[in-house]
Structure 1
Amino acid sequence: MMATTHAAVGLVLALPLLVLAPDLAAVGALASLAGGVFPDLDLLAGQHRKTLHFPDYYWLGAVPALVAAAVAPSATTVAVAWFLLSAAVHSVSDAFGAGTEPRPWERTSAEAVYLHSRRRWIAPRYWVRYDGAPEDYLLTVLLLAPGLTHFGPTVGRVTLVLLTVGGAYTLVRKRLPDLEERLLK
């Protein structure tokens, strides 16, 4: 899935805050959006879906952080909890998409996301054929919709940026491996 789709899933995770702690909902939404994108920064930092993806270990921080946010709700506790929750869900959900190969529509990789506790890769499930697939962008649009109307203007602006970036990426996704090969020659 695209980073924008993971951010969108994070936004959906923040929806209960609109009822449970409306004054902290925007903070939780922004933290969830950031947590949804964070694991994909390993594209820049090392091996993708291994360096910052922790489908097992993020939960060790997310669960106590959620308890802390429930016991002592504040901007800080909510932000930390929803950031970690969104990063954890991102890391797990990568197993439901494609592998790590440059052309995931060819299905040549058996590596979707690295499970650090078992020191092995989880195989891709291809529920979303590949990052940037049309259905991936549709999922992004549907899941980001509440961000346009429910969390205030800052979240609304971030949502518009994510929709634009996700749409642009979807339009060029299948051309990127060829472009990368040309640039690296």
Structure 2
Amino acid sequence: MNVLSEFLIIALSAAVLQNAVFTRGLGSSRDTLMMGAPRRIFAFGAALTFITVVSAALAWPLNRLLREQQLSTRLGIRYLTSISTLACVCAVFTLLYLVTRAWFPRIHYPLRRDAANAAFSCAVLGTILIAFSGGYGFVKTVGFAFGSGIGYTAALLLVREGRRRIALSDVPRAFRGLPIMLLYIGILSLAIYGLIGHQLPT
């Protein structure tokens, strides 16, 4: 029960208080923020969550081995943790691509574009590296990855709803499109920062 509660608490914290888009700015490219249909957002979010969770589960023992053996220092490679984590993400994406193409073609063809965008979004790598820098154990790392994927999907749905409501408003011409969306996202980010209690730099 302790493991489950630890998983749920860190997942909820990652989804709401440490949201990848609103507090970290991860994966907030124009293409992802301007997704239209909720069905596509859910498909993209499911692919991103799956890739993040499985990559985190693979990268955590590898990262622990690198730290214990001090291979980064021995080999003289400064960013070995980032490189090994990226290799895990690439392996998971390749496996997902090949498995869906071979056995689930009905899922593969609609998913292949979103899976590539999700896998190579900075949200996946950034989430895993943030969990590593926090010194989380295996359960917390996987929970953080799961919560970040859910939070990312919720953020995209909030941005879509904001874009729909802004389209019904009379916005000055200079602010139409991406500028008003960035203002909307900035206001949501400030609200979450106020909920957490972070101090803004002066």
TM-score of the superposed pair, with normalisation by structure 1: 0.29
TM-score of the superposed pair, with normalisation by structure 2: 0.27
- Name which one, 1 or 2, has greater alpha-carbon Rg: 2
Structure number with higher helix proportion = 2
Higher relative contact order (CA 8 A, sep 6+): 2
